[in-house]
Amino acid sequence: MIAKQGRAELAAALAPCRTAFLGTALMSGLVNLLYLTGSFFMLEVYDRVIPSRSIPTLVGLMVLALVLYGFQGALETLRARVLARVGASLDEALSARVFDLVVRAPLKGAPPGDGLLPLRDLDQVRAFLAGAGPGALFDLPWIPIYLAVCVLFHPLIGLAALGGACVLALITFTTERTTREPAQAATGHGLRRNGLAEAGRRNAEVLAALGMQSRLSARWAVANRAYMDAQARVADVAGGLGAVSKVFRMALQSGVLALGAWLVIRGEASSGVIIAASILVSRALAPAELAIANWKGFVQARQAWGRLAELFARIPASGQPHALPAPARELAVEGISVAPPGTMRLVVQDLGFVLKAGQALGVIGPSASGKSSLVRALVGVWPPGRGKVRLDGAALDQWSSADLGRHLGYLPQEAELFAGTIADNIGRFEPEPDPAAVIAAAEAAGAHELILRLPEGYDTRIGEGGAGLSAGQRQRIGLARALYGNPFLVVLDEPNANLDNEGEAALTEAILGVRRRGGICVVVAHRPSALAAVDLVLMMAEGRAQAFGPKDEVFRRVLRPAPAPPPTIVPEPESNPIPAPAPVPVLQESA
């Protein structure tokens, strides 16, 4: 049922092309009728021109044949152009939806592999529609017409053509059955191969520093070998059967020549039938041979279409909910439980709290306590399995992504930036960002002076992932992006992980700025220094709230002095003894 919904969405995208397909079918009919030109021309030359020795008749037949060949070429060119436009139209109708799938699939628990496979699937379908495959399929229904004309020449010639068509149909069926599994296996191995290559590209520094490149390369080579073996099996089967069909058609054509000559010797046919029947039988079986030659592309396009239908069904298109006013009062978390997409393991359980405008919450706790999972739920990246996250009473799923994004600021642990200018990244790649708002966001993040020291200031271009910037610079610019447009809710996950003292001071001032303008800020941190500007603290452990309340009160419960190191016996220094380190406060879990 779900897959049927995906196929229905794809069919709806293809529906506007029905007129083009109908026109292509009509043009294919005319082209196939014009393909009879050569057969009848030869028949007339042998049976009419040669016996009469009439030059005017020959010239007239030549002119007529050239005109018909011209129409045939024009129609074939027009058919190819129409099919290319159909492929382009389908791509235009689905490209935005497919890109949406690519960026949303990781949030829906998509299995690891080639994340760009949907784009490649769309390319595969478009390439098949623009190639020779559809033309061959449109020509297949005309095989019975050619066989009927062969019967008119002589029943034995029709019988020979029918036998050849049956053999080619058997070859086509065999091609379908024998290439299906290798083609599917090749797709699976290709996904694994591309996934390993993408992982290596993302982690090139780690591979180089730890000497792991050769080991990952060996794993990639295994996946690549399996992919190439599966591709070779598909090519071997399709190529072998294609060669068999081609040789069989050539042999059949010679056989029909011999049959025609035998009929002429017996006086049952004219001499023109010999050549005309040979050409006609060859043309009658050409669509089947062409279909076999393009069968690999047809199978790949069909599999790509099926994968797109499945993905469309699993990740439906998001609708456009009713517009809501900008939030300005509170954030309410109502007993949410969160599991990573694609899993059933809860990493946040039954967590609830309410924050009012002007408040800031610090979230602390040991590693793997569910802090980052919580903030992903707060910004709508991971929808809660149970409970709701509400802004001014409206659940996050009542907002469209574009509308909600204007009221949210989010800085993940890894501050990913995109290829473009600094201003583009801070302005969230709006078509025409307000320069004053971009500068205001940078000043709020304490990054204005930092940006001005770059070679071209706000117009400095950076590479994918923020290439060309240090980790601290990326984090400061990511913070400015989170503050762009004065969003009501600002969520920061480990915002001081790469900051120096100046950066931490700027972070504290940014949080205070959010509070002063009536926003809400949620900060995840391991170091208490990042929480200087918050007034509330949530302590988490094993996905549950262990303590929640005013910062000083919670810190009194969860902070204790670190135990002093045990005494050691050392020689008495001659001078300037180094004092033992004083105990420092550390986080501990509340009972």
Lowest mean pLDDT among 206-210, 217-221, 226-230: 206-210
Q: How confident is the model at residue 563 (pLDDT cuts 50, 70, 90)?
A: low
Q: What is the pLDDT of residue 113?
A: 55
pLDDT of residue 469: 84
* Interatomic CA distance for residues 145 and 22, integer angstroms: 19
Q: What is the Cα–Cα distance from 112 to 569, expressed in whole angstroms?
A: 56
User: How many helices and strands (H and E) does the chain possess?
Assistant: 21, 14
User: In sequence order, which residues have a C-beta less than 8 Å from that of residue 86 and are 6 or more positions away?
Assistant: 17, 20, 21, 24, 129, 130
| pLDDT surpasses 90 at 142 | no
What ranges in 35-54 are assigned the alpha helix state H? 36-44, 50-52
Q: What is the pLDDT of residues 510-540, one digit of tens each?
A: 999 999 999 999 999 877 777 888 999 999 9
Mean pLDDT of 256-271: 81
Let me know: does 285 contact 208? Beta carbons within 8 Å: no
Find which of 213-217, 312-316, 471-475 is predicted with most confidence, using mean pLDDT.
Answer: 471-475
Q: Residue 224 pLDDT > 90, yes or no?
A: no
d(CA 180, CA 419): 40
Residue 16 has φ and ψ, to the nearest 5°, of: -60, -15
Res 374: pLDDT: 92
What phi and psi values does residue 326 have, to the nearest 5 degrees?
-65, 135
Mean pLDDT of the region 305-322: 80
Average pLDDT over residues 565-569: 54
Integer CA distances (angstroms), 70 to 73, 78, 131, 283, 500, in order: 5, 12, 22, 18, 76
pLDDT of residue 295 exceeding 90: no
The more confident residue out of 364 and 117 is 364
- The winner for highest mean pLDDT among 44-58, 449-463, 569-583 is 449-463
User: Across residues 143-155, what is the average pLDDT?
Assistant: 81
pLDDT for the residue numbered 422 = 92
> CB-based contacts of 99: which residues, under 8 Å, 6+ apart?
119
Q: What is the pTM of this model?
A: 0.68
SS3 assignment for 539-586: EEECCEEEEEEEHHHHHHHHEEECCCCCCCCCCCCCCCCCCCCCCCEE
> What was the pLDDT predicted at 418?
86
pLDDT value at position 212?
79
Nearest 5 degrees, angle CA 293-CA 295-CA 301?
A: 135
Across the range 28-49, mean pLDDT stands at: 83
CA–CA distance, 209 with 166 (Å, rounded to integer): 63
Query: What is the mean predicted confidence (pLDDT) over 353-379?
Result: 91
Residue 483 has pLDDT above 90, yes or no: yes
> Which pLDDT score, from 0 to 100, does residue 566 have?
57
584: pLDDT confidence band, cut at 50, 70 and 90? Answer: very low
Q: How confident is the model at residue 591 (pLDDT cuts 50, 70, 90)?
A: very low
Q: Which helix (H) or strand (E) holds 360?
A: strand 360-364
pLDDT > 80? residue 579: no
Please check the confidence at residue 571 and state whether its pLDDT lies above 60: no
pLDDT of 590 above 50: no
State the average pLDDT over residues 237-254: 79
Percent of the chain past pLDDT 90, that is, above it, reads 19
Instruction: Look at residue 585 in the predicted model and tell me its pLDDT.
Output: 44
Coil vs helix vs strand at 432: coil
- Identify the top-confidence range among 394-408, 464-478, 564-578: 394-408
What is the mean pLDDT of the segment spanning 536-558? 88
Q: Give the Cα separation of 75 and 63 in Å (integer).
A: 18
Q: State the number of CA atoms in the 13 A half-sphere of 181 facing the CB.
A: 3
Q: Which of 304-308, 414-418, 457-461 has the highest mean pLDDT?
A: 457-461
* pLDDT (0 to 100) of residue 149: 80
Which own/partner pairs from 150-156 qualify as long-range (CB within 8 Å, at least 24 positions apart)? Answer: 150/277, 150/280, 150/281, 150/284, 153/269, 153/273, 153/276, 153/277, 153/280, 154/260, 154/263, 154/268, 154/269, 154/273, 154/277, 156/259, 156/263
Asked if pLDDT for residue 578 goes beyond 70, the answer is no
Confidence bin at 583 (pLDDT 50/70/90): very low
Mean pLDDT along residues 357-378: 90
* pLDDT mean over 100-129: 76
Indicate the average pLDDT of the chain.
82
Q: For residue 412, give both structure tokens.
A: 């993940």
Note the pLDDT of residue 167.
Answer: 84
More confident residue, 493 or 11: 493
Instruction: Give the C-alpha separation, 33 to 417, whole Å.
Output: 59
